Amino acid sequence: MTDQTAPWWTAATAYQIYPRSFQDSNGDGIGDIPGIISRLNHLSDLGVGFVWLSPVFASPMADNGYDISDYRDIAPEFGTLDDMDRLIAEAKGRNIGIVMDLVVNHTSDEHAWFHAACESRDNPMRDFYIWRDPGPDGGLPNDIQSNFGGPAWTFHEPTGQYYFHLFDPKQPDLNWENPRVRAEVYAMMNWWFDRGVAGFRMDVIDLIGKEPDRGITADGPKLHDYLQEMHQETLAHRDVVTVGECWSATPENALLYCGRDRNELSMVFQFSHVMAGWDETLGKWTRKPVALPVLKHSLARWQEVCAEDGWNSLFWGNHDLPRAVSKYGDDSPEHRVDSARCLATALHLMKGTPYIYQGEEIGMTNVVFERIDQFRDVETLNFHRIQTAQGLSTEDFLAGANLNGRDNARTPMQWSDAEHAGFTTGTPWIEVNPNYRQINVASDRASQDSVMARYKALATLRRNDDLIRIGDFVPFDLDHPQIMAYARRLGSQQITVICNLSSQSVTYDVPQDLRLSGVCAFTGRIIDVASQETLAPWEDIVVTG
């Protein structure tokens, strides 16, 4: 049974493609759009409803495309506008929407706007960016730090002022207070909508309301005015999906973005569960195991926030985060498959739109790099420079980068056990994880018990059943150290989900309200959930009745 009134994206499973690492078609070692087109059948086979495509726009690639030099063109290494049109059409033919990445907190310093802005202080485009005179001591205007390390201000010698950048100096921040900037962004969004895109994922969108002079970067006072204006100028009356990347989103402000009467976004990516695994002072560059109760409380809190209004995004990983099975599961040969499947179950049966990050559907793992020259990510390389200059050994830094660094997610997609995992016939831009001979799409496709088979089953359930799509979420035993247990309820229907998220077997006293006689959602077998159940490591019990 499906409810026809809820938006299409509430029944969809999303899939993120990081184009550089997905599929190369021309042997240059870099993934590209024709490569993606050649793999669309994999996505339709999985049951994907829309793809979030990380940036493919023209870019000098200082941050692999999150530094855009022309929003209306495609980077030559990824293909052409014709390729992009073909991707949109071919995906649509398979009922898959293409959601592009809207990177408008900043541009590249090689964007024509920035070139013009640098010409002189009175250039009409100067005010597209954020410029300040040196501070009273002749130095930085203030002490705001960039997310990639170092000051958020870079001095522009020829015009004698600093420009502001919350990321790399090659990513100058746009000045959203300038109505001409906003008009340009909206025109560009409409241009892409007219080409047929199904929506936008909005890069660090919670930063656009910044007020650098007051030290405010995230969640600035005008943020929601801008988002409402954007909605009015671009999204209103279009049947599209939007998801804002909002590291500052909290349960308290979430509905400002995605509440039903707000006219802003469909949903946000919030990161409470991710940051629970970061150290308060050393951030992500050190080991900090996340206790399961902390994770569950965080996920449950967000389910509660969006229970009656708003909508959740559900994700374990993306191109900035470590591999899900390595971070939250157990990537040892003994438990990798079971833990990847169990994590998928635990996440995808909650209420919200689940996002699969490329490779997660086959349980791809973190990579272990032994030398800094194996890394490619600008953030990792910057922090290596900064932290080793402060006295940290490269060895200690590498340990952190191998745990949480962004390159974990960026090693090439493992399609088969052929050379370079079938990703390219050339030399990959970043090394392939050597475990590709065991972990690849071809071998998962051949097995009914594979991680991929589980993801496929979960996408089918969501697409076809309102209980999964809109049923109430009811958590149990949030403080249990190993079990994640919840029910979804709609009318008289219930699905019971019990996951052993640990590498030990666990005997669980099943609460009365989770006991159920019904059908196993994956095997169709009749199951009686009893008052006590012993679950093997990473086993799950999923029963509808």
Catalytic residue numbers read: 203, 245
Nearer to ligand NOJ, 144 or 468 (CB): 144
Strands 97-102 and 50-53: parallel
Cα(458)–Cα(200) distance, rounded to whole angstroms? 24
202 binds ligand NOJ (CB under 6 A): no
User: Which of 24, 109, 173, 203 is the binder for ligand NOJ (CB under 6 A)?
Assistant: 203
- Report the nearest approach of ligand NOJ to the CB of residue 328 (Å): 19
Chain residues 37-66 in contact with ligand NOJ, contact rule CB under 6 A: 63, 66
Cα(132)–Cα(211) distance, rounded to whole angstroms? 12
Nearer to ligand NOJ, 175 or 494 (CB): 175
- Tell me if 256 sits within 8 A of 262, measured CB to CB: yes
Please state the φ and ψ torsions of residue 526, each to the nearest 5 degrees.
-80, 135
- Tell me if 95 sits within 8 A of 155, measured CB to CB: no
477 binds ligand NOJ (CB under 6 A): no
**What dihedral do alpha carbons 321, 326, 329, 333 form, nearest 10°?**
160
Nearer to ligand NOJ, 376 or 489 (CB): 376
Q: Which two tokens stand for residue 19?
A: 């184009």
- Measured from each CB, the residue nearest to ligand NOJ is 66
- Report the nearest approach of ligand NOJ to the CB of residue 244 (Å): 11
Chain residues 227-246 in contact with ligand NOJ, contact rule CB under 6 A: 245
Question: Containing H/E element for 297?
Answer: helix 292-305
103 binds ligand NOJ (CB under 6 A): yes
Nearer to ligand NOJ, 244 or 537 (CB): 244
Which SS3 state, helix, strand or coil, does residue 497 take?
Answer: strand
Helix axes 223-230, 179-194, angle to 10 degrees: 40
375 binds ligand NOJ (CB under 6 A): no
Nearer to ligand NOJ, 69 or 440 (CB): 69
113 binds ligand NOJ (CB under 6 A): no
Per rule CB under 6 A, count of chain residues that contact ligand NOJ:
9
Q: Where are the beta strands (DSSP E) in 93-160?
A: 97-102, 131-132, 153-156
Strands 241-245 and 267-269: parallel
Nearer to ligand NOJ, 63 or 407 (CB): 63
540 binds ligand NOJ (CB under 6 A): no
Chain residues 150-179 in contact with ligand NOJ, contact rule CB under 6 A: 167
Chain residues 395-434 in contact with ligand NOJ, contact rule CB under 6 A: none
Nearer to ligand NOJ, 319 or 384 (CB): 319
200 binds ligand NOJ (CB under 6 A): no
99 binds ligand NOJ (CB under 6 A): no
- Tell me if 50 sits within 8 A of 97, measured CB to CB: yes
- Report the nearest approach of ligand NOJ to the CB of residue 427 (Å): 24
Cα(125)–Cα(495) distance, rounded to whole angstroms? 57
Chain residues 297-326 in contact with ligand NOJ, contact rule CB under 6 A: 319-320
383 binds ligand NOJ (CB under 6 A): no
- Report the nearest approach of ligand NOJ to the CB of residue 115 (Å): 20
204 binds ligand NOJ (CB under 6 A): yes
- Report the nearest approach of ligand NOJ to the CB of residue 266 (Å): 18
Radius of gyration in angstroms for the set of CA atoms belonging to the chain, rounded to a whole number:
23
Nearer to ligand NOJ, 55 or 352 (CB): 55
Nearer to ligand NOJ, 246 or 467 (CB): 246
- Report the nearest approach of ligand NOJ to the CB of residue 445 (Å): 29
Which alpha helices (H) appear in 164-251, and where do they start and end? 179-194, 223-230
- Report the nearest approach of ligand NOJ to the CB of residue 75 (Å): 15
216 DSSP assignment: B
295 binds ligand NOJ (CB under 6 A): no
Cα(521)–Cα(460) distance, rounded to whole angstroms? 11
- Report the nearest approach of ligand NOJ to the CB of residue 103 (Å): 5
Nearer to ligand NOJ, 206 or 330 (CB): 206
- Report the nearest approach of ligand NOJ to the CB of residue 102 (Å): 11
- Alpha-carbon distances, residue 317 vs 165, 170, 269, 469 (angstroms): 26, 26, 11, 21
- Report the nearest approach of ligand NOJ to the CB of residue 71 (Å): 14
Cα(167)–Cα(147) distance, rounded to whole angstroms? 5
Cα(66)–Cα(171) distance, rounded to whole angstroms? 8
One DSSP character per residue, 416-485 reads: -SSGGGGS-SS--SSPPPGGGGTS-HHHHHT-TTSHHHHHHHHHHHHHH-HHHHHPEEEEE-TT-SSEEE
357 binds ligand NOJ (CB under 6 A): no
80-105 b/e with 16+ CB inside 10 Å = b? eeebbeebbebbeeeebbbbbbbbbb
Residues in contact with ligand NOJ by the rule CB under 6 A: 63, 66, 103, 167, 203-204, 245, 319-320
